[in-house]
Chains A and B, each alone.
Chain A
Amino acid sequence: MAKNKEVAVVKRNNSLPVARPGTHETFITPFADVYETPEAFVLMVDMPGATKESINVSMERGTLVVKAPVEPYHKKNAVLLFNELRTSSYYRVFNLGDGVDRDNVDAQFEQGVLAIKLFKSEELKPREIHIK
Chain B
Amino acid sequence: MVVRVQRYPVASWPFESLFDFERGIDDLFGNFLGTGLVTQSGRDPAIDVAEYDNESVVVAEMPGVRKEDMKISVQDGVLSITGERKGHELPEGSRWIRNEVRTGQFSRTVELPHEVKTDAISAELNNGVLRIVLPKAEEAKPREIQVQ
Q: Is B145 an interface residue (CB 8 A)?
A: no
Q: Is A19 an interface residue (CB 8 A)?
A: no
**B127 engages A35 (CB within 8 Å):** no
Report how many residues on chain B are interfacial, defined by Cβ distance under 8 Å. Answer: 50
Chain A 1-17 interface 0/1 with B at a Cβ cutoff of 8 Å (1 = within): 10011011110111110
Chain B residues closer than 8 Å to A22, beta-carbon distance: 1-2
Chain B 1-25 interface 0/1 with A at a Cβ cutoff of 8 Å (1 = within): 1111111110000001101100000
Residues of chain A from 66 to 120 with CB closer than 8 A to chain B in the complex: 73-75, 77-85, 93, 95, 109, 111-113
**A74 engages B57 (CB within 8 Å):** yes
**Given A47-B63, A81-B56, A82-B49, do A35 and B3 touch, yes or no (CB 8 Å)?**
no
Report how many residues on chain A are interfacial, defined by Cβ distance under 8 Å. Answer: 51
User: What is the CB-to-nearest-CB distance from A125 to chain B, in angstroms, rounded to a whole number?
Assistant: 12
Chain A residues closer than 8 Å to B128, beta-carbon distance: 46-49, 111-113
How long is the Cα–Cα vector from A113 to B85 in the complex, in angstroms?
12
The residue on A at minimum CB distance from B58 is A82
Q: Is B47 an interface residue (CB 8 A)?
A: yes
How long is the Cα–Cα vector from A41 to B93 in the complex, in angstroms?
12
How long is the Cα–Cα vector from A15 to B127 in the complex, in angstroms?
18
**A80 engages B50 (CB within 8 Å):** yes
Q: Is B139 an interface residue (CB 8 A)?
A: no
Q: Which residues of A contact B (CB under 8 A)?
A: 1, 4-5, 7-10, 12-16, 20-23, 31-38, 41, 44, 46-51, 63, 73-75, 77-85, 93, 95, 109, 111-113
Q: List 9 A-B contacts (CB under 8 A).
A: A9-B98, A16-B19, A22-B2, A32-B101, A48-B129, A80-B48, A80-B51, A82-B48, A111-B127
